[in-house]
Chains A and B, each alone.
Chain A
């Protein structure tokens, strides 16, 4: 549930970021920003989905450091991208 909740939060922030990018019209840069945001969300979704599947056993292994890093970096890059599309 925690991974699903976090993916949902990421989706909401991604929508806000996409809206931010498109406020000034659909210029090529804005379209590129939206595509990058969508890719970031998909990456986050893939990490979450893998982890949810890995937890479907009676004694799940601990989260791998690589997955934790990937999820955190998706968030950081989303923030950096957001700073780039501010009006």
Chain B
């Protein structure tokens, strides 16, 4: 979630502080979102909602992957297996939180008529999943069996 580029309007420390304050406000008083700006075309909101759900499914897939690692690699060393499973579970939880955060920020940007927020999260997630996959292939192929 911290991988977002909030693009603060004012530069420097004050801009970041304002961006954090806005983020907190968005999370703890999300209903105020509807008081901002103008209601966008409903098709845009529905597209944003579908993207949110796609990210939520990604989060669920990561969590399911965590369970799968723990259940279907029983011959592997326990600490290593648990580490992989916990990494996937944490990744899934972060992905779900990021999904709702990004949905809120996109919705707010659309209501205000601003550009949509850009994010490095997809790149970070892709790299993390790639590294974990290679690690799992190595673990399965070369052992560390208990």
Contact with A along B102-129 (1 / 0, CB 8 A): 0110010000000000000000000000
B-side binding surface: helix, strand, loop or mixed? helix
Please give, as numbers and ranges, the residues of chain B lying within 8 Å of A76 by CB-CB distance: 93, 96-97
Return the contact of B42 from the options A60, A79, A83 (Cβ within 8 A).
A60
Chain B residues near A12 (CB, 8 Å)? 60, 64
Q: Is there an interface contact between B104 and A13, defined as CB atoms closer than 8 Å? A: no
Q: In the docked arrangement, what's the CA distance between A23 and B30, Å? A: 40
Q: Report, as a range, how many residues of chain B touch the other chain.
A: 35 or more
Q: Are B100 and A68 in contact (CB under 8 A)?
A: yes
**Cross-chain contact B70 with A62 (CB below 8 angstroms):** no
Chain B residues closer than 8 Å to A9, beta-carbon distance: 57, 60-61, 64
Residues of B within 8 A of A86 (CB): 70, 82, 85-86
Residue ranges of B at the interface with A (Cβ–Cβ < 8 Å): 30-31, 33-34, 39-40, 42, 45-46, 48-50, 52-54, 56-57, 59-61, 63-64, 66-68, 70-71, 78, 82, 85-86, 89-90, 92-93, 96-97, 99-100, 103-104, 107
6 sampled A-B residue pairs with Cβ under 8 A: A19-B71, A23-B71, A68-B104, A72-B97, A80-B89, A86-B82
